[in-house]
Structure 1
Amino acid sequence: MIELPIVFEDEEYIAINKPAGVLVHKTPLEKDPEALFAVQLLEEQVGYKVYPMHRIDRPTTGVLLFGKRSKAASMLQPQFIDNSIKKYYLSIVRGYLPETHGTIDHPLAKDMKFSMQEARTEYWSLEQSEVPYVSSDRYKTSRYSLVKVYPHTGRMHQIRRHFAHLRHYIIGDKTHGDNKQNNFFASQFHLGNMLLHAWEMNFIQPFSNQALTINADIPMHFKKTMSDLNLSGAEIVAQSIK
């Protein structure tokens, strides 16, 4: 059995650092007989029922929070509904972003269909890298950015679709990304994962009224790619010890 890394626990809540490829819970749309589900794995690991508070895409890694009982889940749910919970992500994207700090304000189709929903994503370009590799036919070098991201809204694949809208595709995103970039990273750096990580979550514990911050360490495939691209991640380290 896979043991999920627990990054936070108190009397009411427990959070894991979700590995890549693990789904949050079972769904009728998932037909893979070998699929792994975080709810099932965590319940087997801790020996009691857990209640997932939110979703993370299957290829995304990072903080995934659960209630330990139904009342704990219902007490925290309003903070998710009114977006008072802050969730910050880290990613590596193609190219240099147009601004060090910017906002992507672009409506997205609901459930990938036709009705449009307001969607807003804030980002910070933490570090940039230019490496002497040809990943496309146009340039002799390749540029990448390490970014911190805060989605103000919670639409399906919002971060992935918003960066695709800017044409600053998330590396390793096989659904909304750039296949040339993905193939380049697979052949040059042996990367088979998407570089999107749910790094930090901030919320108020509704029973104690305490402000909590949960961080999930960056996975090894993300760290290796940072090293491959000469990205130090110094600002991430600085922010994590504030």
Structure 2
Amino acid sequence: MKIRILYEDENLLAIDKPAGLVCHPVGGYQGDTVVSQLSYLYPEDIHLLHRLDKNTSGVLLVTRGKKIIKKMYNQFARRLICKTYLAVVHGVVKSHQGTIELPIARACSASLIKLKMTTENPQGLAAKTDYRVLNTTEEHSLLHLQPVTGRKHQIRLHVAAIGHPIVGDYLYCRSGIPFLWQYYLQRSSPWHENIKGHALHAHSIEFEHPLLQDQIKISAPLPQHLDNIMKGF
């Protein structure tokens, strides 16, 4: 899986991460990652400014060297960077637009499922996601989402918590069957053969360039498998 460069200057990169590619080595995984591919292409230090889950596609910001890294992290901390996502979820979302505010904490089953999170712990970190319904079918909804905070698995967990999990998401699905297929049989369930990863795409990111002082908006085109799904709306 090759990375496409969406924007590049001496200090900053914006890439289009494909679904199925891990951002950086984690745990015992030392295979192909975003970091390993970029380190091969760019001799200077590469720093990911944020993360995308393995099965999420879309735009990702990366610094080249350390000149602007603190200024960019400061923008993230002050919530000055606007990220938008597109997602196909199960069911018809009745409210045309809304805000999901539920705390996020590591699930009690974290020892078995390392990355699983929960909204059921009131002591979790505050998390907020704005959403808008773009279109619906009899079985699915197409959502435009803007995470105000940036917690692990935030969008996936928030939409699942209101009863509309993302299509193809095995971790936060409605029942355990697709999860069992994915994690114990090591292959995708037959219910989602037409989806690579899950139907969540980091569509755009907007920020102020710390050196150029320009407001920059970068968008990543839909990958083919998601484009085919969204044509049905």
With the shorter chain as reference, the TM-score category is 0.7 to 0.9
Query: 2:197 aligned to 188, 193, 207, which one?
Result: 193
Q: Which residue pairs with 1:214 in the alignment? A: 218
Q: Given the two structures, how large is their TM-score scaled by the length of structure 1?
A: 0.81
Query: 2:207 aligned to 196, 203, 206, which one?
Result: 203
C-alpha separation between the residues in 2 aligned to 1:188 and 1:37? 24
Structure 1 position 150, deviation (Å) = 0.4
C-alpha separation between the residues in 1 aligned to 2:47 and 2:104? 28
1:98 equivalent to 2:94? Answer yes
Residue type of the partner of 1:78?
N
Residue identity over aligned pairs, in percent, reads 31
1:4 equivalent to 2:9? Answer no
Q: Which residue pairs with 1:136 in the alignment? A: none
1:116 equivalent to 2:120? Answer no
Q: Which residue pairs with 1:169 in the alignment? A: 165
The CA RMSD over aligned residues, in Å, is 2.3
Structure 1 position 191, deviation (Å) = 2.3
Residue type of the partner of 2:204?
E
Residue type of the partner of 1:178?
R
Question: Structure 1 residues 173 and 24 mapped into 2: Cα distance closer, same or farther (>3 Å)?
Answer: same
Residue type of the partner of 1:109?
A
C-alpha separation between the residues in 1 aligned to 2:175 and 2:8? 39
Q: Which residue pairs with 1:238 in the alignment? A: none
- Structure in which a larger fraction of residues adopt helix: 1
Deviates more, 1:87-96 or 1:48-57: 48-57
Asked whether the equivalents of residues 59 and 220 of structure 2 are also in contact (C-alpha less than 8 Å), the reply is yes
Q: Which residue pairs with 1:146 in the alignment? A: 142
| Cα deviations by residue, 1:185-242 (Å, 9 ceiling, x for unpaired) | 8447532420111000000001111100010011111012223xx22xxxxxxxxxxx
Structure 1 position 16, deviation (Å) = 0.7
C-alpha separation between the residues in 2 aligned to 1:178 and 1:192? 19
Q: Which residue pairs with 1:38 in the alignment? A: 34
Structure 1 position 127, deviation (Å) = 1.0
| Cα deviations by residue, 1:144-177 (Å, 9 ceiling, x for unpaired) | 1111100111111010110110110100111112
Question: Structure 1 residues 73 and 188 mapped into 2: Cα distance closer, same or farther (>3 Å)?
Answer: closer
Asked whether the equivalents of residues 168 and 192 of structure 2 are also in contact (C-alpha less than 8 Å), the reply is no
Structure 1 position 11, deviation (Å) = 2.4
| Cα deviations by residue, 1:63-96 (Å, 9 ceiling, x for unpaired) | 1111111122122110011111001000000111
C-alpha separation between the residues in 2 aligned to 1:32 and 1:26? 6
C-alpha separation between the residues in 2 aligned to 1:110 and 1:179? 20
Asked whether the equivalents of residues 44 and 65 of structure 2 are also in contact (C-alpha less than 8 Å), the reply is no
| Number of corresponding residues | 213
Q: Which residue pairs with 2:18 in the alignment? A: 19
Question: Structure 1 residues 25 and 177 mapped into 2: Cα distance closer, same or farther (>3 Å)?
Answer: same
Query: 2:135 aligned to 127, 138, 143, which one?
Result: 127
Structure 1 position 36, deviation (Å) = 2.1
Asked whether the equivalents of residues 49 and 69 of structure 1 are also in contact (C-alpha less than 8 Å), the reply is yes
SS in 2 for 1:43: helix
Note the residue ranges of structure 1 that are not aligned, 5 or more in a row: 131-142, 232-242
Asked whether the equivalents of residues 93 and 141 of structure 2 are also in contact (C-alpha less than 8 Å), the reply is yes
Question: Structure 1 residues 108 and 188 mapped into 2: Cα distance closer, same or farther (>3 Å)?
Answer: closer
SS in 2 for 1:163: helix
1:80 equivalent to 2:76? Answer yes
